[in-house]
Chain A
Amino acid sequence: MAEAPKATREAIEAVDLAENPFKKDFPLLANNPHLTFLDSAATAQRPTVVLDAQRDFYERLNSNPLRGLYKLSVEATEAIDKVRRKVADFIGAPLSQGIVFTRNATESLNLLALSMGRLVLGPGDEVCITIMEHHSNILPWQQVCRETGAKLVYMRPNEDCKLTAEEIETKITRRTKIVSVTQVSNVLGVENPIKDIAKRAHAVGALCFVDGAQSVPHMGVNVQELGCDALAFSAHKMFGPMGIGVLWAKKELLEKMPPFLTGGEMIDWVTEDDFGCAPVPQKFEAGTQDAAGIVGLGAAVDYMRAVKRENLEARERALVADLARKLGELPFIRLIGPANPNDHVAVVSFNVCGIHPHDVASILDSYDVAIRAGHHCAQPLLAWMGIESCCRASVAVYNDEQDIDNLVEGLQKVWGMFNGAE
Chain B
Amino acid sequence: MELNNIYNTALMEHNAHPDYKYEMDDPTLQHEGVNPSCGDDIVLSLKLDGDVIEEAAFTGHGCAVSQASADIMADLITDETAERARHLCDLFLKMIRGEVTDDAELAELGEAAQLKGISLMPARVKCAELGWRTAMTMLDERLAAEGK
Binding site for B on A (CB under 8 A): 355-359, 362-363, 365-366, 374-375, 388-389, 417-418, 421-422
Give chain B interface residues in 114-147, CB to chain A under 8 Å: 121, 123-124, 127
CB contacts (< 8 Å) of A359 on chain B: these are 7, 63-65
Complex contact A374–B38 (CB within 8 A): yes
A421 to B16, CA, bound (A): 11
Complex contact A421–B65 (CB within 8 A): no
* Partner of A358 from B12, B16, B127 at Cβ < 8 Å: B127
Would you give the shortest CB distance from B110 to chain A, in whole angstroms? 23
Binding site for A on B (CB under 8 A): 1-3, 6-7, 12, 16, 37-39, 61-65, 121, 123-124, 127
Complex contact A356–B37 (CB within 8 A): no
Give me 10 other A-B pairs in contact (C-beta within 8 A), A362-B121, A389-B38, A389-B39 excluded: A358-B38, A358-B123, A359-B7, A359-B64, A362-B6, A365-B3, A366-B2, A374-B38, A375-B39, A418-B16
Closest A residue to B16 using CB positions: A422
Q: A358-B127, A375-B39, A422-B16 are in contact. Are A366 and B62 (CB under 8 A)?
A: no
CB contacts (< 8 Å) of A358 on chain B: these are 38, 63, 65, 123-124, 127
Would you give the shortest CB distance from A419 to chain B, in whole angstroms? 9
Q: Could you name 27 residue pairs across A and B whose Cβ atoms are closer than 8 Å?
A: A355-B64, A357-B63, A358-B65, A358-B123, A358-B124, A358-B127, A359-B7, A359-B63, A362-B3, A362-B65, A362-B124, A363-B7, A365-B3, A366-B1, A366-B3, A374-B37, A374-B38, A375-B37, A375-B38, A388-B38, A389-B38, A389-B39, A417-B12, A418-B12, A418-B64, A421-B12, A422-B16
Closest B residue to A389 using CB positions: B39
A49 to B49, CA, bound (A): 69
Would you give the shortest CB distance from B118 to chain A, in whole angstroms? 10
CB contacts (< 8 Å) of B16 on chain A: these are 418, 422
Complex contact A388–B3 (CB within 8 A): no
A347 to B70, CA, bound (A): 34
Closest A residue to B17 using CB positions: A422
A417 to B62, CA, bound (A): 17
Would you give the shortest CB distance from A139 to chain B, in whole angstroms? 15
